[in-house]
């Protein structure tokens, strides 16, 4: 029963829409602005750097919180990984927004930074490097999570971590399917550009 409550809290924490909260505070309808996504990239595009940093930090923290909650409660793998996964699912499919959420990149990174810190840091490094070179936020996320299972396999070397990394990577691809289509068509907006319809 305690485990069920903790896992429910992990999902609810993940479902907190920091981007929407920031947008409401600024009087912006985030669903009708930019790409319509609730994540930090669209917040940056529609409101600015300060709001985007707040959103990014909040989304990372809720993933980290979910894993830490299970750890401090005395649970190990695979329950800590499950809590992290539920936080990402909460972000992607939040009950507060009729299950229409974000893409889960920042929340997944928060999960990884607590679950497997070296893997998390390497994921961040790949993500930021690709974004810096290409100026495509989506391409950075896709590249970082494509390599995630391999990085987890070599640095963590446990089955639970590998399974978690595969599911997280799969969710990233599912949530970025429109971005993948636009990248292939050459219509994906770079950071700082407005979305092309």
Q: What pLDDT, on a 0 to 100 scale, did the predictor assign at position 193?
A: 64
Tell whether the model's pLDDT for residue 74 goes beyond 80.
yes
Binned at pLDDT 50, 70 and 90, residue 148 comes out as very high
Residue 147 has phi, psi (to 5 degrees) of -85, -10
Cα–Cα dist 187/173, whole Å: 18
Query: Is residue 112 domain-resident?
Result: yes
Band the pLDDT of 157: cuts 50, 70, 90. confident
Tokens of 171: 């969710």
Q: Rounded to whole angstroms, how far apart are CA atoms 69 and 80?
A: 8
**The pLDDT value given to residue 195:** 52
Q: Model confidence at 160, in pLDDT bands (50, 70, 90)?
A: very high
Structure-block tokens of residue 186: 């050459």
Q: Where are the beta strands (DSSP E) in 137-180?
A: none
**Residue range 67-73: mean pLDDT, rounded:** 97
| CA distances from residue 164 to 13, 133, 151 in whole angstroms, order as listed | 19, 28, 12
- Nearest CA-CA partner of 108 in 71, 144, 151, 72: 144
Residue 25: the pLDDT is 87
Residue 8 lies in a domain: yes
Range of the structural domain that residue 41 is part of: 2-185
* Cβ contact 148:160 at 8 Å: no
Does residue 193 lie in a domain region? no
The pLDDT of residue 192 is above 80: no
| HSE-up (13 A, CA, CB side) for residue 167 | 16
Say if 196 falls within a structural domain.
no
Q: Is residue 192 part of a domain?
A: no
Give the mean pLDDT of 26-40.
Answer: 85
pTM of the model: 0.93
How confident is the model over 74-102, as a mean pLDDT? 95
Residue 56 has pLDDT above 90, yes or no: yes
Q: pLDDT at residue 155 above 60?
A: yes
Predicted pLDDT of residue 194: 57
Question: What is the number of structural domains in the chain?
Answer: 1
Above 90 in pLDDT, residue 32? no
**Is 197 part of any domain?**
no
Answer yes or no: is 140 within a domain.
Answer: yes
In a domain, 154, yes or no: yes
The per-residue pLDDT for 153 is 95
């Amino acid at each position: 029963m305690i485990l069920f409550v903790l896992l429910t809290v992990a999902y609810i924490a993940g479902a907190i829409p920091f981007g929407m909260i920031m947008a409401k505070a600024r009087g912006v309808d985030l669903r009708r602005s930019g790409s319509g996504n609730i994540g930090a990239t669209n917040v940056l595009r529609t409101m600015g750097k300060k709001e985007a940093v707040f959103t990014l930090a909040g989304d990372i923290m809720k993933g980290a919180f979910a894993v830490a909650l299970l750890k401090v409660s005395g649970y190990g793998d695979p329950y800590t990984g499950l809590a992290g996964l539920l936080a990402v699912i909460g972000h992607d499919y939040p009950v507060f927004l009729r299950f229409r959420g974000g893409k889960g990149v920042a929340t997944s990174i928060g999960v990884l930074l607590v679950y497997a810190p070296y893997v998390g840091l390497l994921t961040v490094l790949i993500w930021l490097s690709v974004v810096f070179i290409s100026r495509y936020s989506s391409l950075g996320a896709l590249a970082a999570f494509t390599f995630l299972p391999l990085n987890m396999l070599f640095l963590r070397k446990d089955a639970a971590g590998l399974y978690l990394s595969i599911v997280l990577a799969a969710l990233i691809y599912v949530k970025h399917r429109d971005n993948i289509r636009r990248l292939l068509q050459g219509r994906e907006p770079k950071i700082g550009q407005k979305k092309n319809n």
